[in-house]
């Protein structure tokens, strides 16, 4: 009886925990921007191995990354300095060089699209554009993109990030801000020039954000999840409590029955003890005739 109940409790708890975790979605740790960057570099390497021109090439990603756009371009440092280089969302003007100097470099561009908010967040703000990023690597040996980002040194004009769209809705656009995400997870606010453009001095990941009010939608979504989890935990708690109550009750009842049985077995012997009180003979017969169990069981 007792072990059946425990198994029932375990099964219910496991089911509810699974439901809750699938509602919340995998752990946040699985969306690591640094791991994503390494993965983009890996697929960019495969792309460059098959394309030997200096054009920008689309990088093919596994199908579970649908919604992200990645491309790669290789060029000479000299060309970057004299002409700059344009991609669809990132325009690097002339007079930009890498530190340290390398002969050739590879630029990996990415647009995280609908995945943006899985990888990047700004507390107190909501993302109104996709996250657009680019990383600059050493590609001097023409076989492998070297790990370790190169730093850009911008001498005159800044680099422009053009955002493909802003999901502003009826929000006050004067309150929008451009942010840059640092590799250590911190956030740097930058001047916003309207026209969907953000001016930056270095490579990295960028996004347009709006102050808190816009965050309600997302908040509600999360609140809803927590309600479901809370409800699940509440139900589990209730089931556990009720089951434990039942187990305790049954155990207690069983103990009482055995006690009663023992008592009635020994009641003849006990008679002599009770008889010593004011009530004399009737005691023994009372015990035998009364429905003792039910009588004693009243709480």
Ligand X SMILES: *[C@@H]1O[C@H](CO)[C@@H](O)[C@H](O)[C@H]1NC(C)=O
**Which residues on neighbouring strands pair with residue 96, listed in sequence order?**
154
Considering the complex, state which of residue 90 and residue 105 has its C-beta at the smaller distance from ligand X.
Answer: 90
Query: Can you tell me which of 34, 66, 82, 290 binds ligand X, judged by CB under 6 A?
Result: 66
Considering the complex, state which of residue 114 and residue 216 has its C-beta at the smaller distance from ligand X.
Answer: 114
Smallest distance, Å, CB 61 to ligand X?
A: 9
Look up residue 189 and give its two tokens. Answer: 């606010």
Considering the complex, state which of residue 114 and residue 285 has its C-beta at the smaller distance from ligand X.
Answer: 114
- The whole-angstrom separation of Cα 82 and Cα 237 is 69
Query: Can you tell me which of 18, 21, 153, 172 binds ligand X, judged by CB under 6 A?
Result: 172
Assess contact for 178 and 192: CB atoms under 8 A: yes
DSSP H helices, the chain, are: 2-24, 33-50, 77-83, 116-119, 216-275, 282-289, 292-297
Q: DSSP string spanning 161-198?
A: EE-S----TTS-GGG-EEEEE-TTS-EEEE-B-STTEE
**In sequence order, which residues have a C-beta less than 8 Å from that of residue 14 and are 6 or more positions away?**
none
Look up residue 198 and give its two tokens. Answer: 């953000």
- 21 touches ligand X (CB under 6 A): no
Smallest distance, Å, CB 16 to ligand X?
A: 25
- The whole-angstrom separation of Cα 235 and Cα 94 is 64
Taking contact as CB under 6 A, which single stretch among the options 65-73, 215-223, 235-243, 278-286 is the one that binds ligand X?
A: 65-73
- The whole-angstrom separation of Cα 126 and Cα 169 is 13
Q: DSSP string spanning 274-293?
A: HHTSSS-THHHHHHHHS-HH
Count, residues in the chain = 299
Smallest distance, Å, CB 212 to ligand X?
A: 13
- 156 touches ligand X (CB under 6 A): no
Residue number with the shortest CB distance to ligand X?
Answer: 67
Taking contact as CB under 6 A, which single stretch among the options 50-58, 100-108, 110-118, 237-245 is the one that binds ligand X?
A: 110-118
Query: Can you tell me which of 175, 247, 283, 287 binds ligand X, judged by CB under 6 A?
Result: 175
Query: Can you tell me which of 67, 84, 93, 232 binds ligand X, judged by CB under 6 A?
Result: 67
- 118 touches ligand X (CB under 6 A): yes
Query: Can you tell me which of 3, 62, 265, 294 binds ligand X, judged by CB under 6 A?
Result: 62
Considering the complex, state which of residue 16 and residue 90 has its C-beta at the smaller distance from ligand X.
Answer: 90
- Binding residues for ligand X, per CB under 6 A? 62, 64-67, 114-115, 118, 172, 174-175, 190-191
């Amino acid at each position: 009886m007792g072990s059946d109940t425990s198994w029932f409790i375990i099964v219910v708890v496991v089911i509810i925990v699974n439901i809750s975790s699938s509602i919340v979605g995998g752990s946040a740790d699985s969306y690591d921007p640094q791991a994503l960057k390494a993965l983009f570099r890996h697929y960019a390497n495969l792309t460059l191995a098959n394309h030997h021109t200096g054009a920008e090439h689309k990088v093919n990603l596994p199908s579970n990354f649908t919604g992200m756009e990645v491309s790669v371009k290789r060029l000479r440092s000299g060309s970057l300095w004299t002409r700059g280089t344009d991609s669809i969302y990132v325009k690097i003007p002339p007079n930009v060089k890498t530190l340290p100097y390398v002969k050739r470099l590879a630029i990996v561009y990415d647009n995280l699209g609908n995945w943006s908010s899985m990888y990047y967040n700004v507390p107190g703000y909501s993302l109104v554009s996709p996250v657009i990023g680019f990383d600059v690597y050493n590609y001097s040996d023409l076989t492998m993109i070297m790990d370790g980002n190169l730093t850009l040194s911008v001498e005159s004009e800044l680099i422009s990030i053009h955002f493909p769209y802003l999901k502003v809705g009826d929000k006050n656009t004067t309150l929008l801000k451009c942010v840059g995400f640092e590799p250590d997870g911190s956030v740097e606010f930058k001047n916003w020039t309207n026209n969907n453009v953000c001016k930056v001095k270095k490579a990295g990941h960028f996004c347009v954000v709006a102050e808190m009010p816009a965050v309600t939608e997302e908040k509600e979504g999360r609140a809803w999840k927590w309600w479901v989890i809370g409800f699940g935990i509440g139900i589990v708690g209730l089931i556990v409590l009720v089951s434990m109550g039942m187990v305790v009750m049954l155990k207690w009842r069983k103990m009482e029955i055995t006690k009663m049985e023992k008592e009635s077995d020994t009641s003849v012997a006990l008679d002599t003890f009770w008889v010593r009180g004011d009530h004399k003979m009737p005691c023994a017969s009372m015990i035998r005739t009364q429905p003792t169990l039910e009588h004693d069981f009243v709480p």
